Amino acid sequence: MSPPTRVSVCMATYNGAVYVEHQLRSILSELVEDDEIIVVDDASTDDTVAVIASIGDPRIRVTPQSVNRGYVRTFETALLAATGDVLLLADQDDEWIPGRRAVLVDAATRSGVAASNLVLLDSGDPLRSPVSGRPWLLRAATSTQRLRNEARILAGVAPYFGCAMAIRRDMLAAITPFPSFLTESHDLWIATVANTAGRMSHVEQATVRRRIHGANASSASPRGLRPAIASRWMLLRAWREAGRRRRALR
């Protein structure tokens, strides 16, 4: 009989005192005794760290950074500090849907990386595609369509969100360290590695309720032409780097 799967929840926080307790309690209700939550705080100037400490659950490990490094490097630090068999990413201001742990652990254990759908916290509706306006959803049938999935990432129309992802521990060999040129979209980097290696699983069930507010790290506002071009170039470099790192998984 194999030992039970240990889960590490990896969270980056920054000035999240308003919502972080609600999110952490929704996470804790999903976890078992041997799981852990790794919180790396990115030099918050509010009471985020104190709010987390006040919860008083020994499964939470919070590491404050003295210098603000940005959410990409902060998430990387959390992933590298995790000790679990499966790592679940979490934002500071969402709400987990009951059953998330079981669904994502099962999918990530089978494939390597799992990405689920999500819904909006206030309405329960799915996100809308920025192109078509229709529900923006991952389909299980396209999990293994590597080139299609990567083309959608490069086009900016792939609904991969870190807050809805899980990573099997052995995948860290290719995912970390993050490339030095990666300044945004750690979730698209993880998805690119998984798709390139054929280790992606799309979970059609929604596993998180996403809170939309003015301080979200990822903005829904349209980007200007120059930032959009720079982002696409970065993702092209990420695709090339993911191909090189695929050898680490053999």
Strand order of the β-sheet with 95-96 is 60-64, 36-41, 7-13, 86-90, 165-168, 113-120, 200-210, 95-96
- What's the CA gap between 149 and 229, in Å, rounded? 19
pLDDT range class, residue 148, cuts 50, 70, 90: very high
Q: How many CB atoms lie within 10 A of CB 250?
A: 5
CA angle 24, 27, 30 (to 5 degrees): 150
Q: Which class for 225: exposed (0-12), middle (13-18), buried (19 or more C-beta within 10 A)?
A: exposed
- What's the CA gap between 225 and 246, in Å, rounded? 32
The dihedrals phi and psi of 209, each to the nearest 5 degrees, come to: -100, 120
pLDDT range class, residue 226, cuts 50, 70, 90: confident
Local structure of 163: helix, strand or coil = helix
Q: Is the pLDDT of residue 190 over 70?
A: yes
19, amino acid identity: Y
- The secondary structure of 48-84 as a DSSP string is HHHHHHHH--TTEEEEE-SS---HHHHHHHHHHH--S
Q: How high is the pLDDT of residue 249?
A: 79
Q: Is the pLDDT of residue 223 over 70?
A: no
Mean pLDDT over 121-127 rounds to 93
CA dihedral over 45, 49, 55, 59, signed as positive or negative:
positive
Structural domains of the chain, ranges and CATH numbers in brackets: 7-249 (3.90.550.10)
pTM of the model: 0.94
Angle, helices 186-197 vs 71-81, to 10°: value is: 60
Structure tokens at 126: 């799915």
Q: Is the pLDDT of residue 185 over 80?
A: yes
pLDDT range class, residue 215, cuts 50, 70, 90: low
Q: Is the pLDDT of residue 166 over 80?
A: yes
* Residues 70 and 30 sit within 8 Å (Cβ to Cβ): no
Residue with tokens 């590491």: 63
Lowest mean pLDDT among 109-113, 115-119, 147-151, 222-226: 222-226
